[in-house]
Amino acid sequence: VLVKVMRPQATPRPTTRPVEPWIPDTWQLALDACTARRPLARCAEDLALAMRPWGSPMKNRPVVDAIRRVLEKNAPDWPGRSAFVVGEVMDYSFSEFQQAQMLYRTALRARPDDLEIASFLGSLLNQVFKDTAGVKALALEYAGKLLAEAKTNPTVVGAQRMCQAASWLASAGVRGKETRRLWVAAKKISRHGCVQTNWELLEGKELDWTQRLWHFVSYPQ
């Protein structure tokens, strides 16, 4: 019997500190690793969103301030995105809705074609401020852009945004051509999420079980 005894390999000690979400000084490690594969500005935004929950439980201001610094330092050539991401922090982590609204509007002024920012602002106006007039104006302003995007690049996310805009208009009593176009375009792509939730509002009747089954089978996303 031949027995080969091998010396166990020593585990190399890490030469750098690990990334600790609650210690902003360590975040640069994550940025360095990310930028090997993606643009710096996108990495900064993803890092900010990943760290956002650490600012939430006890309203950890230093974390939020660090998020803002990361964005301002690493995404200065990305107008509006910094304000948008910090707005998300204020909206979803801190429930500071007035400040979130101001940041979303700042972001949208810098990036008027950004449908994601418009969607977040509209949701905040609709759900928190009950600003029917503001939501209606926003939906009408972006209806054309939403429909154009759906025509060239139909996606489930786009369908949800069109449905969202259609439901805002319908809730505001606007039942015209624009509302119908948004709703029909959304239904062509998806029958789940917003479309299912607002079916009765836009169609005037509830979905029965056979329709729900058909939608489940026909729209697997």
> CA-CA distance, 48 to 57, in Å (whole number)?
16
Calpha distance 200→207 (Å, rounded): 7
DSSP label of 45: H
3-class secondary-structure state, position 193: coil
Alpha carbons within 13 A on the beta-carbon side of 214: 5
Please tell me the predicted confidence (pLDDT) of residue 25: 82
Find, among 213, 216, 136, 220, the residue nearest to 178 by Cα: 136
The token duo for 114 is 């950004």
Alpha-carbon gap, residue 133 to 130, rounded angstroms: 9
**For position 29, what pLDDT does the model report?**
87
What tokens were used for 217?
């089978």
Per residue of the chain (221 residues), give pLDDT as tens: 455 555 555 555 544 567 787 788 888 888 888 888 888 888 888 888 887 777 665 567 787 788 878 887 887 767 788 888 888 888 887 788 999 999 999 999 999 999 999 999 999 999 999 999 999 999 999 999 999 999 999 999 999 999 999 999 999 999 999 999 999 999 999 999 999 999 999 999 999 999 999 999 999 87
Rg of the chain in Å (alpha carbons): 23
In this prediction, residue 180 carries a pLDDT of: 97
pTM of the model: 0.78
CA 142 – CA 148 distance, rounded (Å): 10
Distance of CA 126 to the CA centre of its chain: 16
| Tens digits of residue pLDDT in 114-149 | 999 999 999 999 999 999 999 999 999 999 999 999
Burial class (CB in 10 A: 0-12, 13-18, 19+), 185: buried
* Type of residue numbered 201: L
Round to whole Å and give the CA distance between 160 and 171.
Answer: 16
End-to-end Cα separation, the chain, in angstroms: 59
